[in-house]
Amino acid sequence: SSLISIDDIGKKYVIGAEVIHALRSVTLTINKGEFVALMGPSGSGKSTLMNILGCLDTPSKGKYILNGMDVSHMTDDELAEVRNKEIGFVFQTFNLLPRSSSLDNVAMPLVYAGVKKVEREERARKTLESVGLGDRVNHKPNELSGGQRQRVAVARALVNNPSIILADEPTGNLDTKTSIEIMALIEEIHKKGNTIILVTHEDDIAKHAHRIVRLRDGVIEDDFLNEEVRSAL
Ligand code: ADP
Ligand code: ADP
């Protein structure tokens, strides 16, 4: 069964007299457990599509069904609720709270979910352990390396057991060695059954995904299984 079902969505931005069709017509189905890389040149609509997939924005036309819910026409409050429950975000720039410990950063989505403090801390600690940061729970972001910061961000994305992890250029600010470590972590999370959508410019990063979706000028130009996956079939 499909977790994400997008049917002929479009998104236009109106700036004064100018209308920009960031997405023209995108139809896409993603099943539970898939690991998809979203690629395409700058301006092709990747961020716009990720914002819609992540319920940060709604399409101008077409239909988006996420986990059985039609989220195409929801209000901002309704979207926020769906987002907190269904989506885990990982960003290029980590987006951690600078004055808060790893534990408090990871526990943050559970505050919005109304989980009590003792349980929040227990779940945050366990999730930090699962990403290899059991010995960094009380550290603040500036006391951690880039790779460790991104691990904290991955733990924050996971702590609420979301239906999808959306990762926007998660290795964009990391050196090659650290990027490989973070991609290994994301692969491990995928193997545990999580659904992952990853935006990247780099073929070396996209090769970790099982399926590549390539956008150009607001349409899907290409949608194929990764070479390794295909040859294993
Ligand atoms: P990508 O992430 O692939 O670089 P984007 O989704 O950011 O592509 O942009 C697609 C097109 O939509 C571009 O022409 C961009 O300038 C335009 N665009 C994106 N966001 C906005 C916005 N908030 N307002 C106006 N135009 C936008
Ligand atoms: P970029 O990849 O351009 O550096 P980000 O990955 O930081 O941008 O953010 C991508 C989109 O997600 C933006 O539209 C931003 O407003 C939104 N966003 C950033 N941080 C958060 C957050 N913590 N929660 C929800 N949305 C966010």
Please report the ipTM that was assigned to this predicted complex: 0.72
pLDDT given at position 183: 96
Indicate if the pLDDT at residue 93 is higher than 90.
yes
The span from the CA of 55 to the CA of 81, in Å, is: 9
Among 13, 15, 46, 200, the mutation site with the greatest number of ligand 1 atoms within 8 A of its Cβ is 13
Minimal-distance CA residue to ligand 1 atom 5: 45
CB 22 less than 6 A from any atom of ligand 1: yes
Mean of the per-residue pLDDT values for the chain? 96
Is the pLDDT higher at 172 or at 231? 172
Indicate if the pLDDT at residue 230 is higher than 90.
no
Minimal-distance CA residue to ligand 2 atom 13: 51
pTM (predicted TM-score): 0.88
CB 43 less than 6 A from any atom of ligand 1: yes
pLDDT given at position 231: 83
Question: Tens of pLDDT along 152-210?
Answer: 999 999 999 999 999 999 999 999 999 999 999 999 999 999 999 999 999 999 999 99
Question: Which residues touch 146 (CB under 8 Å, ≥6 apart)?
Answer: 94, 173, 174, 175, 178
Residue 97: pLDDT band (50, 70, 90) is: very high
- Find the 47 Cα to ligand 1 centroid distance in Å: 7
Q: What lines the ligand 2 site, CB under 6 Å?
A: 51, 56, 89, 91-93, 95, 168-169
